[in-house]
Amino acid sequence: GVDKEGEHTKWIDLVQRAVRSMKEQGLMSKVVLARALEMPSSGQRRLSLGGTMKELRDRFNDCHVFLVKPPGRPAFLGATPERLVSLSGSRLTTTALAGTRPRGATSAEDAKLAKDLLSASKDREEHLLVVQEIESVLNPLSSRVAIPSTPVVRQLRNVQHLETPISADLHPDFAGDLLEILGRLHPTPALGGSPRELALDWIQGNEGWDRGWYAAPLGWVDQDGDGEFIVGIRSALVSNHTSWLFSGCGIVSESIPESEWEETNAKLKAIADALRYDV
């Protein structure tokens, strides 16, 4: 069983501490906080890994579905909407994905939520921090960085996000060096926060658990240095006895703890439903 009451109290306290730190010290502008929900792998719900992957693919055909299964270790799997970086020769593409609303029950409610997302200062600020950080990383590596001036709304099964597609033409020195670029980009403020080091230190000192593979870069690179990496969010670590479901959200000084709790629940539900868990 899940101690929802205790979980909820801990989360509200964590978000309040983050907001207070941003307002009082003014050093950190965003921090991404995450939850790990432990669930017993109860017999009647168990799907084979193959069955789970099919379920994820059917439900989230607009996401990257992934599975990492080292021998004798738990499986790390999920369906992520977020591509970290794709490289083909000197052409790099990436995405800023930050700012969230649930999907509506009706098309009218859905459209209203999307409109609200586009016009909400808190979400636009959170999104812009990610765009600016990616731009500042890519500028010195590129002859050209193309960024649309306004984000679009990307609708997924459970939630909708602000999304800005970003592309760059890399200088010859960096073309084909995907791992170098990956090291500079990850974690973006969509996963860690801003400024990066401050946010990561704050997470380590306050979140209270080791993220492990959660939000890690996963992907491939070929002999030419081309490849593609995603980030392992909307994910779970699944063993024979227990599963851990992961979900996070970006906190800025305007964040309302209860709204952020709801957002993490909507994201958790996506992976929980696919794993046949009732959360």
For this structure, is 228 an active site residue? Answer: no
Catalytic residue among 10, 30, 115, 197: 30
CA–CA dist 128, 80 (Å, integer) = 21
Burial of 169 (0-12, 13-18, 19+ CB in 10 A): middle
For this structure, is 30 an active site residue? Answer: yes
Catalytic residue among 38, 82, 115, 228: 82
CA–CA dist 128, 202 (Å, integer) = 21
CA–CA dist 34, 23 (Å, integer) = 20
Amino acid letter at 50? G
Burial of 254 (0-12, 13-18, 19+ CB in 10 A): middle
Closest CA to 270 of 134, 120, 102: 102
**Largest interatomic CA distance in the chain:** 56
- Phi then psi for residue 62, to 5 deg, are -100, 10
Task: Report, as residue numbers or ranges, the catalytic residues.
Answer: 30, 82
